[in-house]
Amino acid sequence: MKRYLGFAMVFFMIQGCSAQNNAQLIDAEMETVVSESLRYYLYFPQDYKSEKNKKFPLLLFLHGGGESGDSLSTIKTNGPPKLIVQGKQFPFLILAPQNPYKKKWWNTRGVAQLLDSVIENNRVDKDRIYLTGLSRGGSAAWEMAVQYPNKFAAMAVVCGMTPVPYANWINKDMPIWVFHGDQDKSIPLSESVTMVEKLRAMGYDVKFTIYEGVGHNSWENAYTDDALYSWFLEHRKQGKRK
């Protein structure tokens, strides 16, 4: 299934001049409009149509830098979308948007708006929204956990860069599972080690899996392990950010 979501962020600005003796300092505002179209895949569980009174969990998957651009089919090369193509069945909806910029970070505000739209227009259990991402998408997953601390019930990050200074903004009630290869030359293992140590020191519930002898493609191990999906389903949203 292929769909598009266009969104716009609007800010407004009115220029004015404050009373300054030398006119070097002014007060100002400017209205700007930023719009973008997000392409995405949306997977439905096998029993979604037959179980008409049931609400289902949803997993938001954010791909890596190699799948960015304007060819939506590249999303199917890694992670849960790849497994779906191979015939794997999942017990939850999977939302897999595409970052349209090959050399830019994810627009997490746009992703959040897309996620909210999918939740509102489908039978989704709002207490079982899960988040995961690999590489650049793993970095975006950390960012979304910081920006939207009360949205997700659990999060798994695979070899992503980490926002260590903002670690305490993440919801303490949200379990986290981090994966990384110890031979990763693109995003060093130290990124995840430092973040996990910081979170654990503050009392967060964090699982940490290090793959020995594995490079940057640690997602091949993480996403083919059914234990990850069982772990997601063990969790419901417990409370607000503390």
pLDDT of residue 34: 73
- Global confidence as pTM: 0.88
Q: Where are the domains of the chain?
A: 38-233
% of the chain exceeding 70 in pLDDT:
89
> Does the CA dihedral 112-115-119-125 come out positive or negative?
negative
Reported as a single tens digit per residue, the pLDDT across 3-14 is: 555 655 443 444
- The CATH homologous superfamily to which domain 38-233 belongs is Alpha/Beta hydrolase fold, catalytic domain (3.40.50.1820)
**Rounded mean pLDDT of 132-149?**
97
> What residues have CB less than 8 Å from 170, skipping those under 6 apart?
145, 146, 149, 176, 199, 204, 241
Q: Under DSSP, is residue 191 helix (H, G, I), strand (E, B) or coil?
A: helix
pLDDT grade, residue 1 (50/70/90)? low
For residue 213, is it left (φ>0), alpha (ψ between -120 and 50) or beta? Answer: left
* Start-end of H helices in 121-214: 136-147, 189-201
* Start-end of H helices in the chain: 79-85, 108-120, 136-147, 189-201, 219-222, 226-233
pLDDT grade, residue 21 (50/70/90)? low
pLDDT of residue 25: 83
How far, in Å, CA of 132 to CA of 115, rounded? 13
pLDDT of residue 5: 58
At residue 4, φ and ψ (nearest 5 deg) are: -125, 145
Q: Indicate the average pLDDT of the chain.
A: 90
